[in-house]
Chains A and B, each alone.
Chain A
Amino acid sequence: MVRIETQPWETMVEHARRVYPNECCGVMLGKASNGEKRVSRAVPLDNAWQGEQRARYELRPEDLLAAEREARAQGLELIGIYHSHPDCDAYFSETDLKNSCPWYSFVVLSIQRGAFGHANSWLPNAEQTAAEKEELICGE
């Protein structure tokens, strides 16, 4: 289960709305214990996809490395990755799956006509062949 506190949740939603109709992406930092992941900080990152960004995103590994260092410096952990699906449901697409990493939670925010719709969290497997839906609690 992943629980996102109010401030990082607002950061994520605002980011997704700001870059609409493109996809946004970023990382979630926090703490994990006893099977519960608690996100206390969201860090918006650049969408580095070289092309149409309405339906694609890419994180630069250097940005992830910097985020991991920042998390360590703050005594936090890199809990997961978030991105948006403009005018589409918050499912885990084939493209999401084939470009994922099984170590993290992947939160997808559905943005419909510029407004937040709904969100889901996904846990992809190591073979990048399937993703399991994870309980997600936002804004608490």
Chain B
Amino acid sequence: MAKILIPTPLRQYAGRQDAVELNGSTVGEVLDALTSSFQDLRRHLYNDEGRLRSFVNVYVNDEDIRYLSKDATPVGENDTISIVPSIAGGLHAG
């Protein structure tokens, strides 16, 4: 089972747990298992088109899955998945 760490503001939608262990051989399968177990989480992670929201990054251990195989990135039982937001801003665009 892979462990997925739940960001603090989302724990209220995950049974107040800070981490959940789930079955799945890829990141996509583990995320599916997560949002099937905790359906309220889904709208916080995915948009109406079923894609991860633009500010959501997923890491396996220290690696961003965008630079691996995205949802198809394999995970083993000793792997930890983290949900990390993209954050930027400032006074002006450009």
Q: Which residues of A contact B44 (CB under 8 A)?
A: 102-103, 126
Contacts A78-B7, A78-B8 given; does A61 touch B91 at CB 8 Å: no
Question: Contact at B91–A77, with CB atoms within 8 Å?
Answer: no
B57 and A61 contact, CB distance less than 8 A: yes
Main secondary structure of the interface of A (DSSP, over half): mixed
Tell me the count of chain B residues lying within 8 A, CB to CB, of chain A: 27
The residue that A57 contacts in the complex, of B5, B18, B82, B88, with Cβ under 8 A, is: B88
- Cβ-based interface call for B78 (8 A): no
CA A58 to CA B89, docked complex, whole Å: 6
Q: Are A95 and B85 CB-contacts (below 8 A) given A32-B8, A61-B57, A104-B9?
A: no
Inter-chain CA distance A125–B81, complex, in Å, is: 25
B10 sits at the interface (CB 8 A): yes
B64 interface residue, CB < 8 Å from A?
yes
* Residue A88 at the chain B interface, CB threshold 8 Å: yes
Chain A residues whose C-beta falls within 8 Å of the C-beta of B8 in the assembled complex: 32, 71, 77-79, 103
Interface residues of B (CB under 8 A from A): 5, 7-10, 18, 43-44, 53-55, 57, 59, 62, 64, 82, 84-94
